[in-house]
Amino acid sequence: MKTKGKLATAADTKKEQLSQFEVNATDRVLTTNDGVAINDNNNSLKIGERGPSLTEDFIFREKLAHFDRERIPERVVHARGTGAHGVFECYEDLSEYSCASFLSAKGKKTPLFLRFSTVAGFRGSTDLARDARGFSVKFYTDEGNFDLIGNNIPVFFIQDAMNFPDLIHAVKPEPHNEIPQAASAHDTFWDFVSLMPEAAHMVMWVMSDRGIPRSLRMMEGFGVHTFKLINKDGVAHFVKFHWKPLLGVHSVTWNEAQKISGYNSDFHRQDLYDAIDSGNFPEWELGVQIVSTADEHKFSFDLLDPTKLIPEELVPVKRIGKMTLNRNPENFFAETEQAAFHPGRVVRGIDFSNDPLLQGRLFSYSDTQIYRLGGANHQELPINRPVNSVYNNQRDGAMRTTISKGETAYFPNSINNGCPYQAMLKGEKAFTSHEEQVDGKKIRARSNSFADHFTQATLFFNSQSPVEKQHIINAFSFELSKVNRVDIRKRYLGILSQIDTNLTEQVAGNLGLDVPSKLDDLTVHFAQQNHPNYPLKAPKPEVLKSVALSMETNSDKATIATRKVAFLVADGVSKASIDALKKELEKGGAQACIISNKVGELLFMEGGTENVQHSYLTEASVLYDAIYIPSGKHLEVLAEEADFFQFLNEAYRHCKVICFAKGTEKLIEHTYFSNKKADAGLLINTSGDFAKTFVQALKAHRIWDRETARKVPS
């Protein structure tokens, strides 16, 4: 499918490379995999019309044998995903910090592929599960591939990769009954995290609105780990990577997420595909937090601890480039599903820190891709191939596609003049590991600088707006209410008691339990296995509240771009009333979606018709960002439409903008908010220049004051 917009004509090296492997079957005869033309693809070879089938039917056997093997093992984690192609444009020369070529010049463009995912669910699970989201970017640089693999949350549950299998076993469906799917609200997950205080910070993020994003296009991305940038002189700086969405960071409510899963479990996947297909290319700016290696021990937290972030008040995020997703995959399996990511896939100018979770991932990711994709040659798949040439002495293996010429497959050699040669022999640019002095005893232990598990969890909670705090309280109350074992509920209340008193009291009250006075003895016991003197006195934090951690208070320039507004109508609606708002929405990049009591031809009050694709039977308010009821002679029809009022009632509950055009206000009498006053998002009896008022309200995303006043659960 052709992409639209100004970036569609930009040079895209990766697209040209992939096109070599594309097949277009238009106006082509059907063949076997050996190229033999097939005359009949509906009937297997038999003796007589009703006789037995023959094993000599090679066409049938090939077709079924391929079908039997066309599924590969799904990813153990991040199985549910979607992706898109794009380009990264560098804002400035970053050679002061890194000799990476793709960061070497202002305006330099690098093709890329990005895969979003949920963590816990299987491939067939819903997009709207409460979960962390994977945010993995493969840069096809001119010096080789660089994979920046992260999440939409800047920290992780655990500090050491030794615990990773246990974490995933705990959050996956329970093994005795395979329930629940794509959910953390069950005993085994909360049992695990209640015994692992280090998970407290990450759990706070997942229980926040970050765990249920409005769109993949409206969430941040983080590299999670501390990496290193290395310049041409071998000087290293620590770095944290950030992706900042230009559409802002937005979520849905929990009640809304549950209903979206019922109406469209592919909501995020379809949203991303449709946006790119329509030319509304999603954009993020790449930011970095750079810390001198001399300042490694400067902070109250450890830079190598993956359960910690660097508050932006301490180290501002420097924006160094922009990523634009501008092309959908042509084939989901060949591109998105076969894309193989690995945090150890770096280029010169980027290197690893000693983060013990990162160090474990350097093995695990490559190992799982070799298993999942059938062998060591998965980098030869078109989606994984670098754009520069590959020369080495690796040969053979399953699915080998490269035809390597020559007599030698070893180094050193003289038969092939020592080729391919090491870059050092001719002084060419190449990856060189950063030289770091390391001295110590072999030991299974953790630094005490990793032992503060609650300060940043408290920082995160304190940084939220009152509405966001209430959503976190509601989320903990919902999740822990699904835990059957009361001792696990009590134990996690002990974790919460170390974070915030009000948070603990409200969650405990919702669960009908008392507030614990201390951590559970069992939790302390397991924590002491990593830190023998746990709990240690926490260091004094530099930052008590960070604006950057709140979705509500830390939004980029407000925009309505790509928002979807439901126009609720029936035959007899005024086209002029529709156009009055539609033009203003489209000016801001939003989309007006007409929904009627039936699909097909819609009759306007002024005469004329329009074809409508959506009806109250197939649509729901949870799929839209705001609601508009135009004026006209359709009010009597709407007044008899139960699903019309379902739209209105749910939209109000979910704090969305609702606008009644002049003359339609009497319909409010049939809603449950008929006795409510107009607010910033409930626009009644509108006339004149109401369109600008509507747009301004839509920019706020939600009217959260309405929720607080009604005390609606999240």
Amino acid residing at 708: T
Q: What is the DSSP letter of 548?
A: G
- Cβ-count burial of 22 within 10 angstroms (0-12 exposed, 13-18 middle, 19+ buried)? exposed
Residue 217 to residue 282: CA distance in whole angstroms: 6
Nearest to 621 by CA among 261, 259, 215: 259
Residue 394 to residue 106: CA distance in whole angstroms: 36
Residue 341 to residue 470: CA distance in whole angstroms: 37
Collapse the DSSP code of 457 into the 3-class scheme (helix H, G, I; strand E, B; otherwise coil) and give the result: helix
Residue 78 a catalytic site member: yes
Nearest to 278 by CA among 314, 327, 231: 327
HEC assignment per residue over 631-658: CECCHHHHHCCHHHHHHHHHHHHCCCEE
Residue 101 to residue 94: CA distance in whole angstroms: 9
Strand runs labelled E in 336-410 = 350-352
Instruction: Tell me the C-alpha to C-alpha distance, in Å, between residue 273 and each of 268, 335, 397, 415.
Output: 9, 14, 35, 52
Beta bridge partners of 629: 660
Nearest to 286 by CA among 426, 30, 421, 86: 86
For Cα atoms 423, 424, 428, give the angle at the middle one, nearest 5 degrees.
Answer: 50
Cβ(510)–Cβ(475) under 8 Å? no
Nearest to 629 by CA among 671, 653, 595, 604: 595
Collapse the DSSP code of 26 into the 3-class scheme (helix H, G, I; strand E, B; otherwise coil) and give the result: coil
Catalytic residue among 78, 225, 531, 654: 78
Strand runs labelled E in 95-159 = 109-118, 133-141, 144-151
Residue 475 to residue 185: CA distance in whole angstroms: 10
Residue 705 to residue 714: CA distance in whole angstroms: 13
For Cα atoms 550, 552, 557, give the angle at the middle one, nearest 5 degrees.
Answer: 110
Residue 526 to residue 516: CA distance in whole angstroms: 18
Q: What is the DSSP letter of 103?
A: G
Cβ(113)–Cβ(337) under 8 Å? no
Instruction: Tell me the C-alpha to C-alpha distance, in Å, between residue 462 and each of 126, 206, 550, 689.
Output: 31, 16, 9, 40
Residue 275 to residue 269: CA distance in whole angstroms: 10
On the CB side of 609, CA atoms within 13 Å amount to: 7
**329: preceding bond cis by omega (within 30 degrees):** no
Instruction: Tokens for 126, please give them.
Output: 């819903």
Collapse the DSSP code of 136 into the 3-class scheme (helix H, G, I; strand E, B; otherwise coil) and give the result: strand
Within 8 A by CB and 6+ apart from 522, the residues are: 195, 491
Within 8 A by CB and 6+ apart from 45, the residues are: 53, 54, 56, 57, 59, 60
Catalytic residue among 145, 151, 163, 384: 151
* Helices 690-699 and 575-587, packing angle to 10 deg: 50
Residue 597 a catalytic site member: no
List residues with catalytic annotation.
Answer: 78, 151
